[in-house]
Structure 1
Amino acid sequence: MAGDTARPSGRGPADRAVDLALRAAIGAVMALPYERRVAAMGALTARAIGPLAGYRRRASANLALIWPDLAPERRAALARAVCDNLGRTLIENYSGAEFARALPSEPHQSDGMEAVARARAEGRPVIFVTGHFGNHEAPRRVLTSMGYDIGGLYREMSNRFVNDHYAATMQDVSGPVFAKGRRGLTGFLRHLKAGGMATILFDLHDRGGVAIDFLGRPARTALTAAELARRFDALLVPYYGTRRADGVSFDVAVEAPIPHDAPLDMMREATARLEARVRRDPGQWFWVHNRWKAARR
């Protein structure tokens, strides 16, 4: 179809240039000891990569959209913090075993762990839902260290060069990871049907989703996680990794499961739980995403 051929491939010259710059930055900081590496990548993203890529500008625009009365100095500080956390998250996920060693041995908040353990014993599937908050890989890695096998469904990046090596950081952590799309969804469904556990990040704009209020503004949200939970009688469990003030350690929370209900109501509850964490620690959520596309237009 003509529309398909006109769609950017994600492998153009500009994509290659961005990928080469990112690889150079990652290669440089990976030579540093772990804690210095994480801090350096955070600072580099906040001061250079974030502004150049437009992340800081987009974060500031989204903050202004949601909290128009926020003082300009506070908004600028939060936009920098968002980019710093983004950089730290990126290099942590490339750091594999060193990142795992910096994490706690078990969740600090474990309201949902008894239900998760019971589901594993019964062979019942579990769908963990989370957002781009703190480091979204932290809870999966903590549960992996406790013997849980957790896969995931993720959306591929528009830059295919970057996606190729970033996706590899998720593959070796725990269970199978599936790219969103027909083939990936088929594998993901088989995984759940067999009683598997997996993670879905639900806080990205989904043009086929329904409008659910998030931070006071309607945001298009996919109902996929709730629909699959009902279809496969899976637990729907929110979990989060919140970065501590030292910048390298985390509080990990496994919340109580969301009761089965209409999918819209279940995702409203998931959204409300994420929203509560964002309000407490706004600098840790990835405000660089176009979460409110209609409102931004």
Structure 2
Amino acid sequence: MLRLVLRARAIVRDATKPLVEAVIGGLVVVLLRVTRHFDAERTAGAFARITRAVGPYLPEHKIGRANLKAAFPDKSDAEIEAILLGVWENLGRVGAEVAHLDHVWDLDPAHPERSRIELAPGTAEIFGKLHDDGKGALIFASHLANWELPALAAPAYGLESAVLFRRPNIAAADRAIQKIRAVNMGTMIATTPDAPLRLARALEDGVHVGMLVDQHFGRGVDVTFFGRKAKANPLLARLARQIEVPIHGVRIIRLPGYRFRAELSPEVVPVRDAAGRIDVAATMQAVTSVIEGWVREHPEQWLWLHRRWR
């Protein structure tokens, strides 16, 4: 009897899944279209207040709390909860800002005080070097502040770029988001089986390839993140082994007053084995250590709500 009940539930779930996804996808599309008609800063603030209020009641809040306690054992419960509220607030802002990605990058080097984006010291020089060296580069990022914005930086500086991304599971939402992204994010490459080949070809052609590297990857290499073992996607280091190009990290820091600071890290030198080849696991550890340093500086702006450690 139990098997029949479970089978019936599975049949109902499979039958209703397309309808549920269609409804959710339609709601996402409507929300994105409506949000675009309102002021970006005010909408981001409204979304932040909503997620800050609702977030603590969601299951992800417990995941975030456990992650933070493991990463920062010396912090009090009150400090942990304060960071978590900041995480929810940041997530709400990101949700609202997605609808305005095609014009949120506002940087006037001649008048930085009037710009929404400012550059960290040394970043403009690194951008210039990447622009003029005649070769591609590997650029890694993390789910910090608004993690969509780094993809806007390269086109803004005239760098030919390609960005690896994961498609949303819901087709309607995917189409709506891609339409916004397509304006000024360079070439978008989905995480399909042929993605590594496409990325390698892009690097050979002098394209600057960007990817997020801070999530759990079950078939990944072992790294240490906040003192705990985690799995990292080795794709970036494998590409570097195949095509030797500079490796840099890029992060966006959220500032008060609806402003952001963009920062390119110094070149991350890949680790090599005794034969002189790039050591994939050790190089991913070097990249992960950079990201850990970023997160320690602004823990309330990183996405603690996923299970980074398994």
Whether TM exceeds 0.5 here: the answer is yes
**Cα distance between partner residues in 2 of 1:222 and 1:30:** 34
TM-score normalised per structure 2: 0.80
**Cα distance between partner residues in 1 of 2:131 and 2:20:** 45
Q: How does 1:24-43 map to 2 (within 5 A)?
A: 24-43=30-49
C-alpha deviation, 1:116, in angstroms: 4.8
Match of 2:86 among 81, 88, 97: 81
Aligned to 1:180: 191
Aligned 8 A contact 1:34 1:98 in 2: no
C-alpha deviation, 1:143, in angstroms: 3.5
**Cα distance between partner residues in 1 of 2:16 and 2:183:** 24
C-alpha deviation, 1:25, in angstroms: 4.2
Aligned to 2:274: none
**Cα distance between partner residues in 2 of 1:9 and 1:271:** 42
The Cα offsets for residues 56-76 of structure 1, whole Å up to 9 and x where unpaired, read as 343223223333453333322
Greater mean alpha carbon deviation, residues 229-238 or residues 64-73: 64-73
Q: Does 1:107 align with 2:105?
A: no
Q: Does 1:258 align with 2:258?
A: no
Aligned to 1:19: 25
Aligned 8 A contact 2:131 2:158 in 1: no
Report the AA paired with residue 166 of structure 1: I
Report the AA paired with residue 297 of structure 2: R
C-alpha deviation, 1:17, in angstroms: 4.2
Q: How does 1:217-296 map to 2 (within 5 A)?
A: 217-246=228-257, 248-261=258-271, 262-292=279-309, 294=310
Unaligned runs of 5+ residues in structure 1 are 1-5
Greater mean alpha carbon deviation, residues 233-242 or residues 70-79: 70-79
Report the AA paired with residue 219 of structure 2: G
**In the comparison of the two structures, how many residue pairs are matched?**
285
Give SS of 1:156's match: coil
CA RMSD between the two structures: 2.9
C-alpha deviation, 1:284, in angstroms: 0.3
Aligned 8 A contact 1:137 1:241 in 2: no
Aligned to 2:72: 67
Greater mean alpha carbon deviation, residues 32-41 or residues 165-174: 165-174
Greater mean alpha carbon deviation, residues 151-160 or residues 273-282: 151-160
C-alpha deviation, 1:179, in angstroms: 0.7
Aligned to 2:50: 44
Q: 1:163 to 1:189 in 2, by over 3 A?
A: same
Give SS of 2:41's match: helix
**Cα distance between partner residues in 1 of 2:299 and 2:53:** 19
**Cα distance between partner residues in 2 of 1:106 and 1:35:** 17
Aligned 8 A contact 1:212 1:221 in 2: yes
C-alpha deviation, 1:217, in angstroms: 1.3
**Cα distance between partner residues in 1 of 2:212 and 2:185:** 16
Aligned 8 A contact 1:212 1:220 in 2: yes
**Cα distance between partner residues in 2 of 1:10 and 1:164:** 21
Larger radius of gyration: 2
Unaligned runs of 5+ residues in structure 2 are 1-10, 108-114, 272-278
The Cα offsets for residues 164-192 of structure 1, whole Å up to 9 and x where unpaired, read as 32333333223201111213333222212
Greater mean alpha carbon deviation, residues 179-188 or residues 22-31: 22-31
TM-score normalised per structure 1: 0.84
Aligned to 2:132: 121
Report the AA paired with residue 66 of structure 1: A
**Cα distance between partner residues in 1 of 2:232 and 2:301:** 20
The Cα offsets for residues 124-157 of structure 1, whole Å up to 9 and x where unpaired, read as 1111101000112333323422222222011233
Aligned to 1:146: 157
**Cα distance between partner residues in 1 of 2:16 and 2:242:** 34
Greater mean alpha carbon deviation, residues 11-20 or residues 263-272: 11-20
Report the AA paired with residue 263 of structure 1: V
Aligned 8 A contact 1:66 1:215 in 2: yes
Greater mean alpha carbon deviation, residues 269-278 or residues 119-128: 119-128
Greater mean alpha carbon deviation, residues 216-225 or residues 114-123: 114-123
C-alpha deviation, 1:239, in angstroms: 0.9
Greater relative contact order (Cα 8 A, min sep 6): structure 1 or 2?
A: 1
Aligned 8 A contact 1:106 1:143 in 2: no
Q: 1:168 to 1:80 in 2, by over 3 A?
A: farther
**Cα distance between partner residues in 1 of 2:133 and 2:218:** 36
The Cα offsets for residues 74-103 of structure 1, whole Å up to 9 and x where unpaired, read as 322222211211121222232034312276
